[in-house]
Amino acid sequence: MIGSLVRLELTMLRRDRRAWWSLIALAVLVLLSFAAIAGDNARSDADKRAVAAAERERWVGQGEKDPHSAAHYSIFAFKPSPALAGLDPGSEPFVGQSVWLEAHHQNDMLYRPQQNASLLQRIGFASPAALITGFGPLIVFLLAFTLVAQDRERGTMRLALGAAVHPRLIVGSKALAVWSAAAGLLVLPVAVISLLSLGIGGRLGGDVLLRTLCWALAMAGYLALLAAVGIAVSLRAGNARLALAGLFGLWILFALALPRVASGVVDAVRPLPSSQAIRQQMAEQAPAFWSDEQNARNRAALLKRSGVRRIEDIPNLRMAELDLMERHSHAVFDRVLGGFYGKVASQDELFAALGFLSPTIAAQASSSSVSGSDFSHHRHFIDTAERYRRNLVNAMNADGMAHRAHGTERHTNDARLWSRIPEFAYSAPPLGALSSTALPAFAALLFWLGIAGFLLVRISRRLRP
Amino acid sequence: MPALRLDSVSIAFNGDRAVADLSLTLAPGEVYALLGPNGAGKTTTLNMILGFLKPDLGSIHVGGIDAVAEPLAARARIAYLPESVMLHPGLTATENLSYFALLAGRRIDAATARRLLADAGLQDDAHDRRAHGFSKGMRQKVGVAIALAKEARLLLLDEPTSGLDASAANDLSQVIRSASDRRIAVLMATHDLFRVKDVAHRLGILHAGRLVEERDAASIGPVELERLYLERLAA
Pairing of strands B210-216, B202-207: antiparallel
Contact A314, A303 (CB under 8 A): yes
The ipTM (two decimal places) reads 0.85
Residue B154 domain-assigned (yes or no): no
- Predicted confidence (pLDDT) at residue A112 exceeds the cutoff of 80: no
Are B90 and A16 within 8 A, CB to CB?
Answer: yes
Q: A112 near A95, Cβ under 8 Å?
A: yes
B110 reaches A (C-beta below 8 A): no
Q: Is residue B157 in a domain?
A: no
Q: Please check whether residue B42 lies inside any domain of the structure.
A: yes
The answer to whether the CB atoms of B98 and A8 lie below 8 A apart is: yes
- Confirm whether B173 is domain-assigned: no
Question: H/E element holding A464?
Answer: none
In this predicted structure, what is the pLDDT of residue B193? 82
Residue A337 confidence (pLDDT) above 70: yes
- Asked whether residue B96 is assigned to any structural domain, the reply reads no
The reported pTM is: 0.89
Indicate whether B114 belongs to any domain. Answer: no
CATH number, position B51: 3.40.50.300
Does the distance separating the beta carbons of A8 and B100 come in below 8 Å? Answer: no
A96-110, A169-183, A236-250, A325-339: range with lowest mean pLDDT: A96-110
pLDDT > 90? residue B223: no
pLDDT of residue B235: 67
Is pLDDT at A215 greater than 70 in this prediction?
yes
Tell me what pLDDT residue A404 has: 83
Tell me the residue type at B105. G
Number of domains in chain B: 1
Phi, psi of A105 (to 5 degrees): -125, 135
What is the reported pLDDT for B98?
A: 95
Q: Is B80 in contact with A162 (Cβ distance < 8 A)?
A: yes
Would you say residue B159 lies in a domain? no
pLDDT confidence of A231, banded at 50, 70, 90? very high
Q: Which band of pLDDT confidence, cut at 50, 70 and 90, is reported for residue A207?
A: very high
Give the angle B112-B26-B147 at the CA atoms, nearest 5°: 20
Contact yes or no for B131/B85 (Cβ under 8 A):
no
| Weakest mean pLDDT among A113-127, B55-69, B84-98, B143-157 | A113-127
**Least-confidence region, from A79-83, A291-295, A434-438, A450-454:** A434-438
Interface of B with A in 118-157 (CB under 8 A): 130, 143, 146, 150, 156
A163: nearest CB among B84, B91, B146: B146
Order of strands across the sheet that contains B154-158: B78-81, B154-158, B185-190, B31-35, B202-207, B210-216
Residue A123 has pLDDT above 60, yes or no: no
pLDDT band for position A120 (cuts 50, 70, 90): low
Distance (Å, whole) CA A24 – CA A32? 12
Q: What is the pLDDT of residues A355-409, one digit of tens each?
A: 999 999 999 999 999 999 999 999 999 999 999 999 999 999 999 888 888 778 8
Domain residues of chain A, as ranges?
Answer: 2-287+330-406+433-461
The mean-pLDDT minimum among A4-18, A144-158, A390-404 falls in: A144-158
Question: What range defines the domain where residue B45 resides?
Answer: 1-67+185-235
| Residue B163 vs residue B64, higher pLDDT | B64
- pLDDT(A333) > 80: yes
